[in-house]
């Protein structure tokens, strides 16, 4: 029987919902929409879309047993037809090349957007929401640019917009920040959230491979795109950081509002010198709450102590360290990309959306995307951060060079912690490495500008920030 059953008192005719019911329903009632099957439409049948359909069809009995939800794959959109996938057999007439058969289909309850990109995905998700459909997406670029608009629209039409797979693949970091950390003030987040860069840096560190060679290797193995710009320039990690910051601090940022730096300038020299100093280089997405209630937001290569757990996250794996006021340090680790890990996160969102339909439960949404007022928390400029630094100068090998550089650093309130000078290799120049104590970024910039005027300094310094206070 389809329809709505309203159950009151101590003799319910349906299982008690373990989630909070819609606040518009009277407290003694549980609303159950009796649907024999929740219909799912998938936009995009690439790697992740294939994984999602495999799980929904091949694990249908397990999903029903564990969640009490019956899910049915109604339509799958693929641009080029016909096609088949190993390990999955779609129902008859399921595959289509027309997205309208999903977003405008009155029989479909949940739309899963996996086509990527921004313009088309934005248009299709908007139509789906306006048609009263719950939406699941893995599209971090879309949410980074249009999150506010889409979540407002979802609220207006009383549907959920779930996005667990948008950040860190199979790691349930979105749900954790939305739900498990609700009673915590998030003090800081440190994330290795781009598997391509982590794979490349791991290979450079462990096998001594140069950047250009390891990029080619990553492309051949499918870890990097033909155009790797979004990954290696740090943009992908920055888009994911905007979502984590919105959930943690209620601040809705765009990528151009904070410092973003990729790994294209990391050479084998820096990898080796970092190792000699007891560090490993990782691309980190960092968010911190400052004492004056501002948020540090930055993405850049970072020196981590070799002993730390984050430094030992290798290959294409992801890890996110979250430090909360009550829970303390926590670490989430797993595969950040790939067919099945990402599909697992997408299916978890589909099940949550199905519960919204079945039980009248609204999925939690960050208030950053729903607030119409200015937030009390502002973004801290990169110039105001304080951290330690690794510096490498190429200088002429003559007496007094270290003193000249040291005096300029000192005049800008930058204290040197240690210095290593390499032997010259058949030229009159040497590499001079320094580790500093904590210093302010704007002081470092001013000092370097003055140091570059010294005739003994050849070219710009290599600068990498150091994070020693990561909990892991």
Q: What is the pLDDT of residues 339-361, one digit of tens each?
A: 999 999 999 999 999 998 988 76
CA–chain centroid gap for 261, Å, is 15
Whether 43 contacts 114, CB under 8 Å:
yes
> How far is Cα 288 from Cα 302, in angstroms, rounded to an integer?
15
- Helix or strand or coil: residue 410? helix
User: Across the chain, what does the average pLDDT equal?
Assistant: 89
CB 321 within 8 A of CB 328: no
The active-site residue out of 54, 133, 240, 282 is: 240
How many Cβ atoms sit within 10 Å of the Cβ of residue 225? 14
pLDDT in tens, 42-77: 999 999 999 999 999 999 999 999 999 999 999 999
- State pLDDT tens for residues 256-284: 999 999 999 999 999 999 999 999 999 99
pTM over 0.85: yes
CA end-to-end span of the chain, whole Å? 53
Locate the DSSP E strands across 22-140.
30-33, 38-43, 71-77, 95-96, 110-113, 134-137
Sheet containing strand 38-43, strands side by side: 95-96, 71-77, 38-43, 110-113, 134-137, 161-162
Would the CA dihedral through 140, 142, 147, 151 be positive or negative? Answer: negative
Q: What is the dihedral of CA 242, 344, 102, 179, to 10 degrees?
A: -50
445 catalytic? Reply is no
Question: How many CB atoms sit inside 10 A of residue 151's CB?
Answer: 23
CA-CA distance, 189 to 249, in Å (whole number)? 11
CATH topology of domain 35-169+340-369: Rossmann fold (3.40.50)
CATH fold match for the domains 35-169+340-369 and 385-465: no
User: Helix, strand, or coil here: 35?
Assistant: coil
What does the domain layout of the chain look like in residue ranges?
35-169+340-369, 180-336, 385-465
Q: Is the pLDDT of residue 79 over 50?
A: yes
**pLDDT at 33 (0 to 100):** 55
Q: pLDDT value at position 299? A: 98
Q: Please give the structure tokens belonging to residue 458.
A: 């050849």
CATH 1.20.1260.10 assigned to 385-465: no
Question: Bridge partners of 278?
Answer: none
Domain 180-336 has CATH 3.30.360.10: yes
The length of the chain, given as a count of residues: 472
Question: How does strand 279-289 pair with strand 186-192?
Answer: antiparallel
């Amino acid at each position: 029987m389809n329809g709505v059953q309203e159950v009151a008192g101590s003799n319910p005719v349906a299982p008690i919902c373990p989630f909070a019911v819609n606040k518009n329903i009277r407290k003694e009632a549980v609303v159950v929409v009796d649907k024999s099957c929740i219909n799912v439409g998938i936009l995009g049948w690439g790697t992740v879309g294939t994984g999602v359909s495999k799980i929904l069809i091949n694990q249908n009995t397990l999903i029903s047993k564990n969640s009490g939800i019956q899910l049915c794959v109604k339509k799958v959109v693929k641009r080029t037809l016909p096609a088949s996938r190993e390990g999955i057999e779609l129902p008859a007439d399921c595959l289509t090349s027309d997205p309208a058969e999903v977003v405008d289909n009155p029989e479909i309850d949940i739309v899963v957007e996996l086509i990527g990109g921004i313009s088309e995905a934005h248009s299709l998700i908007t139509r789906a929401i306006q048609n009263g459909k719950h939406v699941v997406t893995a599209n971090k670029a879309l949410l980074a640019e249009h999150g506010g608009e889409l979540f407002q629209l979802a609220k207006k039409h009383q549907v959920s917009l779930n996005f667990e797979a948008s950040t860190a693949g199979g790691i349930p970091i979105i749900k954790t920040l939305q739900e498990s950390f609700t009673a915590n003030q998030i003090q800081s987040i440190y994330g290795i959230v781009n598997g391509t860069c982590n794979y490349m840096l791991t290979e450079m560190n462990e096998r001594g491979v140069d950047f250009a060679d390891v990029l080619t290797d990553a492309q051949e193995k499918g870890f990097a795109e033909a155009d790797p710009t979004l990954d290696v320039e740090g943009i992908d990690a920055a888009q994911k950081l905007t979502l984590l910051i919105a959930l943690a601090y209620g601040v809705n940022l765009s990528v151009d509002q904070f410092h973003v730096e990729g790994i294209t300038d990391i050479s084998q020299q820096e990898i080796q010198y970092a190792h000699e100093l007891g560090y490993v280089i990782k691309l980190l997405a960092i968010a911190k709450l400052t004492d004056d209630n501002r948020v540090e937001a930055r993405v850049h290569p970072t020196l981590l102590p070799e002993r730390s757990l984050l430094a030992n996250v290798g290959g294409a794996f992801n890890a996110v360290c979250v430090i909360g006021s009550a829970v303390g340090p926590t670490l989430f680790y797993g595969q950040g990309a790939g067919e099945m890990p990402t599909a697992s996160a997408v299916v978890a969102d589909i099940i949550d959306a199905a519960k919204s339909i079945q039980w009248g439960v609204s999925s939690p949404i960050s208030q950053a995307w729903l607030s119409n007022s200015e937030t009390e928390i502002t973004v801290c400029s990169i110039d105001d951060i304080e951290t330690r630094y690794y510096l490498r100068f190429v200088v002429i090998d003559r007496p007094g060079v270290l003193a000249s550089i040291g005096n300029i650093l000192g005049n800008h309130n930058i204290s040197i912690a240690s210095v290593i000078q390499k032997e010259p290799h058949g030229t009159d120049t040497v590499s001079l490495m320094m580790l500093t104590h904590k210093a302010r970024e704007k002081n470092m910039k001013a000092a370097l500008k003055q140091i570059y005027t010294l005739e003994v300094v050849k070219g710009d310094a290599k600068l990498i920030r150091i994070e020693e206070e990561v909990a892991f």
